[in-house]
Amino acid sequence: MDEQLNFAPCGYVSIDDNGTILAINETLLRLLGHNLQEVQGQHINLLLSTASRSFYQLYFFPMIRLQNKVEEMYISLKSKTEQDIPILLNASRNERNGKMTNDCVCVPMKRRYEYEQALLTIKKETDTRNRMKKKQIAELDRLRHELESKQNELLALNEELQRLAITDGLTGLKNRRYLHENLISNVALHAERSQPLSLLLIDIDYFKNINDNFGHMMGDKVLQGFGQLLKDASRIDDIAARYGGEEFALILPKTDKLGALKIAEGIRSQVENANWDLPTITVSIGAATSLAGDTENALQSRADRALYASKNRGRNRTTHASDLE
Amino acid sequence: MNQHILFRNNINITGKGTKAMLFAPGFGCDQNMWRLVAPFFEEHFRVILFDYVGSGKSDYHAYNPNKYSNLNGYAQDVLDICAALELKEVIFVGHSVGGVIGMLASLQEPDRFEQLVMIGPSPCYLNDHPDYLGGFEREDLEALIEMMEMNYIGWANYLSQVIMQNPERPELSQELEESFCSTDPTVARQFAIATFFSDYREELQKVTVPSLILQCSDDAVAPIEVGTYMHRTLSESTFRLMDATGHCPHMSHPEETIRLISDYLTTIYAGSISNG
């Protein structure tokens, strides 16, 4: 080996495809603490740690064989005293005297190794933190979705409860509680706007007889049938409610006496002419229309009196409270 | 589906024969590893080469960290390839972890495989004292993975980010891609962990497909004790100790590798003909 290469400021070793060391320079021998006799003709494994031996097999050899060169490979050498010596290695594959040799040069990279180790550690920590952050965000996201869906369930449940709380179970009409609340607000609203508001109270005639003669099932069917008829007769803003038993009510916003009587008469005749699979069913209706300074109680009791009058006058008829005096 | 698999695993088919030979690369490299061996078999076989997802010219988008967290994910890909090409009674040739992947695939669908040729395989790299010598202590494997990281894995992520911000230097990314047989860095790390910390010793005795084990002399990755352990445990196995040293005889000693495989196949098929 020529003097310049032997003492060049970099390590030099050439190995054959079996890993046998063919030549090695003094610089590298000194770095490793070996002498030439100990190393020449030996397997490169002599200079490698267990991990490096595998690395050599898994990466160095396939690369030099496939690409004829290796560049900037980090690998750790093992000194005679079993110290790890990190080096940076370049290699090229050359044919000399008809044989293939893999020529390697290397420089120790102790300080650079320390820096890179430190950077790698920080990078790993950052990666770990990022992974944790991602996981936490995913978890938060999951919780948010869960909360949202629970909230939606709760809202739907509330809506359903609210609907049930104001609905008459048998007929699906509004119940008495709702009727009462709605009447209060509607009376106030119509008074404020000086608009007429009418109320119909409707009672199915001789309902007790239906129950007694045909059974409660049939009675319920009649209540349901009438509920449907009332619903169909309602305009969009009208409120149809079951008052209790066989008594029903219909709130008619923005409706005066004439309008109310027309609607009431329509309902009465529809009931009379409907096919109930029973002896004729009829209803009695009491109507009232709000006056200036009216309260819902006053309106309701006038409608009640009118209903009573319809009953007294032979049923199957409509009476308006204002016609009573 | 078929096209998708062919693309995903960068499948290349050559050869004049009808019987299929499927070559699976080892850890960290792609089908180029077979270029000194596979062409020999083209005269009599249908030679099929492929890359693992995340290596070589495979479809890197198909990588799924869950699926490939252990070798069964890779074995599934081998089965996908067999299904896509409608292969049956394949002669499977696997280097290193490739052999184990083929073995795992054969446990799922034995009918697909007629022979397993395993070059330097190991079912478990860790020593399990005192009964089993895999060749490595945990620290050795950790040091190996650290060395991979120092070379490539730990940095390529950073570098690729830097490169993406330097579109005026495309040659940098090209260089990176070519280095280390182009394996995606995060994939390589996971593959390394799946490979080197695996233990498939339990599976060996379930293998029904006959096998040939090619064991190198002086292999730092799969020592001779591992090869003899496999031979003892695999039911219908043939064991050949090679003159070749190292871990990649198909690259360092292609003639011997070719000779041992073709001798084995000749014996098998001569036998089957005389029996038939």
Q: What average pLDDT does the segment A253-272 reach?
A: 95
Cα of A85 to nearest chain B Cα, Å: 13
- What whole-number percentage of chain A has pLDDT above 70? 100
Are A56 and B220 a contacting pair at CB < 8 A? Answer: yes
Query: What is the pairing mode between strands A11-15 and A21-24?
Result: antiparallel
Task: Name the band, by pLDDT with cuts 50, 70 and 90, for residue A59.
Answer: confident
Q: What average pLDDT does the segment B239-253 reach?
A: 91
Q: Would you say residue B163 has pLDDT above 70?
A: no
Interface residue of B37, B137, B147, B193 to substitute, partner A, most A CBs within 10 Å: B147
Task: Name the band, by pLDDT with cuts 50, 70 and 90, for residue B269.
Answer: confident
**Which alpha helices (H) appear in chain A, and where do they start and end?**
3-6, 26-32, 36-39, 50-55, 61-67, 110-165, 176-192, 207-233, 257-273, 296-312
Both tokens of A167, joined, read 């609905």
Task: Name the band, by pLDDT with cuts 50, 70 and 90, for residue A198.
Answer: very high
**Residue numbers in A near B28 (CB within 8 A):** 58-59, 62
For chain A, give the longest Cα–Cα distance.
138
Least confident of A256-265, B74-83, B149-158: B149-158
Q: What average pLDDT does the segment B44-59 reach?
A: 90
Query: What is the pairing mode between strands A198-204 and A84-96?
Result: unpaired
The sign of the torsion formed by the CA atoms of B117, B120, B123, B128 equals: positive
pLDDT attached to residue B164 = 44
B58: three-class secondary structure by DSSP: coil
B101 vs A279, higher pLDDT: B101
Q: What average pLDDT does the segment B15-41 reach?
A: 91
Are B245 and A18 a contacting pair at CB < 8 A? Answer: yes
Are B150 and A120 a contacting pair at CB < 8 A? Answer: yes
B234: three-class secondary structure by DSSP: coil
A112 vs B99, higher pLDDT: B99
**Residue numbers in A near B246 (CB within 8 A):** 18-19, 57, 61
Residue of B nearest to A61 (CA): B248
Q: Would you say residue A72 has pLDDT above 80?
A: yes
CB-based contacts of B88, cutoff 8 Å, min separation 6: B82, B111, B112
Residue A278 has what DSSP assignment?
Answer: S
Q: What average pLDDT does the segment A259-267 reach?
A: 96
Task: Name the band, by pLDDT with cuts 50, 70 and 90, for residue B159.
Answer: very low
In this structure, how many other beta carbons lie within 10 angstroms of the beta carbon of residue B206?
A: 14
CB-based contacts of B236, cutoff 8 Å, min separation 6: B208, B209, B210, B211
Helix axes B97-108, B71-84, angle to 10 degrees: 70
Residue of B nearest to A89 (CA): B151
Q: What average pLDDT does the segment B242-252 reach?
A: 89
pLDDT attached to residue A17 = 86
Q: What is the residue-averaged pLDDT of chain B?
A: 86
Helix/strand/coil (H/E/C) assignment for every residue in B75-101: HHHHHHHHHHCCCCCEEEEEECHHHHH
Task: Name the band, by pLDDT with cuts 50, 70 and 90, for residue B110.
Answer: very high
pLDDT attached to residue B272 = 56
CB B246 within 8 A of CB B218: yes
Of residues B83, B73, B108, B78, the one with CA closest to residue B93? B78
Q: Which amino acid is at A301?
A: S
Are A57 and B219 a contacting pair at CB < 8 A? Answer: yes
- For the segment A113-125, what is each residue's pLDDT rounded down to a tens digit? 888 888 888 888 9
Q: What average pLDDT does the segment A220-227 reach?
A: 94
Both tokens of A248, joined, read 């029903």
pLDDT attached to residue A268 = 96
Q: Would you say residue A227 has pLDDT above 90?
A: yes
For A150-161, letters b (16+ CB in 10 Å) and e give: eeeeeeeeeeee
Q: Where do the structural domains in chain B lie, given as residue ranges?
A: 2-135+200-275
Task: Name the band, by pLDDT with cuts 50, 70 and 90, for residue A292.
Answer: confident
How far apart are the C-alpha atoms of B182 and B29, rounded to whole Å?
8
* Burial class of residue A265, CB neighbours in 10 A (0-12, 13-18, 19+): middle
Are B220 and A66 a contacting pair at CB < 8 A? Answer: no
pLDDT attached to residue B89 = 94
Question: CB distance from B154 to chain A under 8 Å?
Answer: yes
Q: Is the pTM of this model over 0.80?
A: no
Looking at A95, A181, A246, A247, which residue is catalytic?
A246
B162 vs B120, higher pLDDT: B120
Of residues A243, A263, A245, the one with CA closest to residue A253? A263
Q: What average pLDDT does the segment B52-74 reach?
A: 88
Are A18 and B246 a contacting pair at CB < 8 A? Answer: yes
CATH superfamily of B2-135+200-275: Alpha/Beta hydrolase fold, catalytic domain (3.40.50.1820)
pLDDT attached to residue A113 = 87
Task: Name the band, by pLDDT with cuts 50, 70 and 90, for residue A144.
Answer: very high
Q: Closest partner residue to B28 among A59, A71, A74, by Cβ?
A: A59
pLDDT attached to residue B216 = 93
pLDDT attached to residue B183 = 59
Q: What is the residue-averaged pLDDT of chain A?
A: 93
How far apart are the C-alpha atoms of A250 and A201, rounded to whole Å?
7
Q: What average pLDDT does the segment A304-308 reach?
A: 96
For chain B, give the longest Cα–Cα distance.
66
The question of whether A246 is a catalytic residue gets the answer: yes
pLDDT attached to residue A139 = 95
Q: What average pLDDT does the segment B194-213 reach?
A: 95
Q: Would you say residue B236 has pLDDT above 60?
A: yes
Residue of A nearest to B244 (CA): A18
Q: Would you say residue B172 has pLDDT above 90?
A: no
Which strands, in side-by-side order, build the sheet including A21-24?
A21-24, A11-15, A99-108, A84-96, A69-78
How far apart are the C-alpha atoms of A126 and A20, rounded to whole Å?
42
pLDDT attached to residue B1 = 57
CB A92 within 8 A of CB A69: yes
Beta bridge partners of B14: B47
- What whole-number percentage of chain B has pLDDT above 70? 85
Beta bridge partners of A288: A199
Task: Name the band, by pLDDT with cuts 50, 70 and 90, for residue B61.
Answer: confident
Cα of A33 to nearest chain B Cα, Å: 23
Place of tokens 């379930």: B206
Q: Closest partner residue to A74 among B151, B158, B251, by Cβ?
A: B151
Task: Name the band, by pLDDT with cuts 50, 70 and 90, for residue B220.
Answer: confident
Residue of B nearest to A75 (CA): B147
pLDDT attached to residue B156 = 45
Beta bridge partners of A65: none
Q: What average pLDDT does the segment B3-26 reach?
A: 94
Residue A247 to residues A178, A216, B48, B147, Cα–Cα distance (Å)? 15, 16, 87, 90
Are A51 and B140 a contacting pair at CB < 8 A? Answer: yes
